A and B are shown apart, each in its own frame.
Chain A
Amino acid sequence: MALSKELLDILACPKCKGEIHLNEKGDGLICNACKLLYEIRDDIPVMLIDEAKPIKD
């Protein structure tokens, strides 16, 4: 089960509150401004700043 569009529409980066988008694999949400990846585990987005992974350019 993928994330619903309704949920994607209201989600924001917990750090900068800016826009996030699904990554290519569909298993994470990316904030371009903070360069962070928030993983989706067991269909649940893990929107915890401590657990976000830095993205390399």
Chain B
Amino acid sequence: MEFDRIAEKYDGWFKTPLGSHVDRLEKELTFRLLAPRPGERVLDVGTGTANYLLELARMGLDCTGLDPGPTMVSIAGAKARAEGLDLRLVRARAEALPFVSQGFDIVLSVTAFEFFQDPALAVSEMVRVCRPGGRIVIGVLNKWSLWALKRRILSWFRESVFTQCRFYSYPEMRRLTKPASWGTAVFAPPWTPPSLIPRFDRWERRLQALARPFGAYLVVRRDR
């Protein structure tokens, strides 16, 4: 599977100057909407190499993650063991979650929704496994951004993880998820040189308010 071949490259990008800027802003927005508390049971749907799930484990949440392919899950497991953190990992698909109903306080999915074959079914499954009063938070790459345009164009020329995915705009996510709140982040364009990153950092919060539909990363929160 394609995802399994790019797993290491995928983790490497977040260590570049622009990659770490993006990762930090995306996490800030996701965790602002997620409002995680120690001890809560979280399910990460499409956990990949457990970038978010490990962060939540460090905060003291009770963490379960799933991904369909073997490589992502084994990298996630190795990273957790290296840190002495306990993650429960399962291979499964978002459209057929192998969990009892209402078993989680939080259901999270970050940059995975783009790859689900049946997004409406995935949402109903995420709602099913979330307890009443819990929250479902989904982060996607915003269709209405220069990053999505760049990824789309590049995928015509070379194989990338984004070749077989679909991007969503806020109106599409609103229709699919009926969110209680939402936001976007990352307003630096994809070709931003490292020297300009601090400037975009200063503008980021203002742009999040003024140009909300157009940040490169879009997060919706649905309350159960």
Residues of A at under 8 Å CB distance from B? 4, 6-7, 9-15, 17, 38, 41-49
**Are the C-beta atoms of B91 and A45 separated by less than 8 Å?**
yes
Residues of B within 8 A of A (CB): 62, 64, 66, 68, 70, 73-74, 77, 88-93, 96-101, 103, 128
Once the chains are docked, how many angstroms separate the CA of A41 from the CA of B91?
A: 10
By the criterion CB–CB under 8 Å, are B88 and A46 in contact?
no
CB proximity of A28 to chain B, nearest CB, Å: 13
The answer to whether B93 touches A48, judged by C-beta atoms less than 8 angstroms apart, is yes
Question: Across the A-B interface, how many residue pairs have beta carbons closer than 8 Å?
Answer: 56
B189 → chain A, closest Cβ, in Å? 38
Whether A14 contacts B74 by the Cβ 8 Å rule is: no
Q: How distant is A50 from chain B, measured CB to nearest CB, in Å?
A: 9
Residue of B whose beta carbon sits closest to that of A46: B91
Other than the given A12-B98, A47-B90, 5 more pairs (CB < 8 A) read A4-B88, A9-B100, A10-B99, A42-B74, A44-B91
Question: Given that A7-B64, A10-B103 are contacting pairs, would A44 and B98 also be in contact in the complex, using a CB cutoff of 8 Å?
Answer: no
* The one of B74, B77, B99 that contacts A11, using a Cβ cutoff of 8 Å: B99
A45–B74 contact, CB under 8 A?
A: no
What CA separation (Å) do A28 and B217 show in the bound complex? 39
For A38, give the chain B residue with the smallest CB separation: B98
Q: Across the interface, which residues of A come within 8 angstroms of B66, CB to CB?
A: 47
B93 to chain A, nearest CB (A): 6
